Chain A
Amino acid sequence: MASELTAPVETAALAAEVEGLLDSAEPEGIYRDTRECGGGLLLAALLLISPPTPRAPKTDAR
């Protein structure tokens, strides 16, 4: 087993990696919603006091 000769250095680095994989941080949540009905709200779908407000891309509107 040739690999065992390099073991001390390699193993130290790997041990840290093992720890990292075992106790991994939670990945950032990926939230993505359907593009269906995302943009053009038809008048027929006008929802008064009802589900979605017209949420045009107003946050970046300016």
Chain B
Amino acid sequence: MPEGINVKPILGEPVLKAEDLTVRFKRRNTDVAAVNGVSFALRAGETMTILGESGSGKSVSLKALMGLLPPYAQIQGKVWLNGRDMLTMPKAELGKLRGGAISMIFQEPMAALDPVYTIGEQISETIVQHEGISYTDAMKRALGLLEQVKIPSAERRLKNFPHEMSGGMRQRAMIALALACSPSVLLADEPTTALDVTVQIQILLLLRQLQEELGMAIVFVTHDVGAAAEISDRIAVMYAGRFVESGTVREIMKSPKHPYTQGLLSSTVHGGLRGRVLETIPGSPPNLAELPPGCAFAPRCRHVTDGCRSGIIPVITSDSGAMVRCVRATETVTA
């Protein structure tokens, strides 16, 4: 059954591009640097996974792209969606894009769906809002969408409230809702984390198939290395608000260059490690309110040198577009 899936060559202009995106949460006593300069470009039909542990800033980055952060968040940098700068856009215009050209699915569908409206009403409301077609036509589209995400007896499910559905079904309904206006970018924030393993693989396969049919770009955020290996074209590994390494799924999974990525992969448990002591990354992730200067991973890194603790960490980009942010990168990339 396992079959080599070729990472498709993706060409053309990026649909979503971020340059030096930073997010700080400044409150009275604290200054949390959640995202510290994230840049990427995503083309149509491409899936980029942001892989990171809790507190690495992966969800905050996603919410910043979508404009969902609270007003006290200080967002800097540039984000272009189809060539238009999203961060300086007036609110009303951004509202038109959200749910239209860019939409998002969340970890907890029960919290993201409205409990007092049926699934059909929620989907058709979005369509009516964005496209101004009649409610009846929108309901027909909603039915088609539920069928597209493979919800059985879709016609009946259209009239269900979220609490009447199972977890996997709710996640499918949320995907249908996000796809209602054929977005060019889908942001997925840990959409399979709360699901059982047999349902998780169904959702991952569904997303892959929908992407093939609709050609949208996906930004997939997860902490699960397995899910990332199943869905991504490219992976960006995030640590303390920065991408420390990015590359194709093969480059990251098979020859990780950054010590954090190496540690993350080798501490991921699988059966082949039975009877052996697991390799671990010592310590715990840094406090984002008190980031050390230099490389944020330095206190936990086994290869740490004096150069890591001060100054600017070099970013090495290889010919294939793979990026590593590490003092040792010149040796490891060429080696």
Q: Do A and B come from one complex?
A: no
